[in-house]
Amino acid sequence: MDVNFINFQSHGDQRGSLVSIERNKNIPFDVRRIYYIFDTKSGVHRGFHAHKKLKQIAVVLKGSCRFILDNGSEKVDLLLDSAEKGLLIESFIWREMYQFSEDCILLVIADSEYDEDDYIRNYDEFKSAVLSNI
Ligand code: T46
């Protein structure tokens, strides 16, 4: 399956690095929400859902974690370990995150406000929804 990474330009100098994320400039949507996941306990797996409409970009600000993305027929297993690389996650993609390093800070930029009704948290339901969308 296709995976879309967005490379964020880092404005680095002798002081360190700075990345700027600006709507409709280096991300393909208007930002409506950001959240971040940190202090994840060892061995924890998160996610296990898809979204009906939501589009998001995930970027690890510190440390690393892995994402499994599944479009209902194919899966990819990706390592996120760079603050200069955003993973674009479209709607109707089942996701699982795991192998969080102890220091991992995972920032997620979303195109909509939080809405529990947008979640598909049952894998069989996800598969049927994908099939009926084809
Ligand atoms: C996703 C992956 C990458 C809120 O109240 N507001 C929010 O904006 C979010 C994202 C969550 N919550 C509440 C809902 C739950 O009671 O925070 C709790 C943990 O959320 P959840 O179990 O959905 O977390 P993850 O890590 O499984 O999934 C999250 C996002 O929910 C999801 O959209 O794509 O991160």
Average confidence (pLDDT) over 15-24: 93
Could you tell me the domains of the chain? Answer: 4-9+21-133 (2.60.120.10)
Question: Strands 85-89 and 4-7, how do they pair?
Answer: antiparallel
Q: Is the pLDDT of residue 74 over 70?
A: yes
Q: Which residues pair with 77 in a beta bridge?
A: 68
- Enter the pTM of the model: 0.96
Going from the Cα of 18 to the center of ligand 1, the distance in angstroms, rounded, reads 27
Q: Is the dihedral of CA 113, 114, 118, 122 positive or negative?
A: positive
Minimal-distance CA residue to ligand 1 atom 16: 116
Pocket test for ligand 1, best of 33, 34, 49, 107 (most atoms within 8 A of CB): 49
Average confidence (pLDDT) over 87-92: 98
Query: Does 35 sit in the ligand 1 pocket, CB within 6 Å?
Result: yes
Q: Name residue 81's amino acid.
A: D
Q: Is the pLDDT of residue 112 over 70?
A: yes
- Mean pLDDT over all residues of the chain? 96
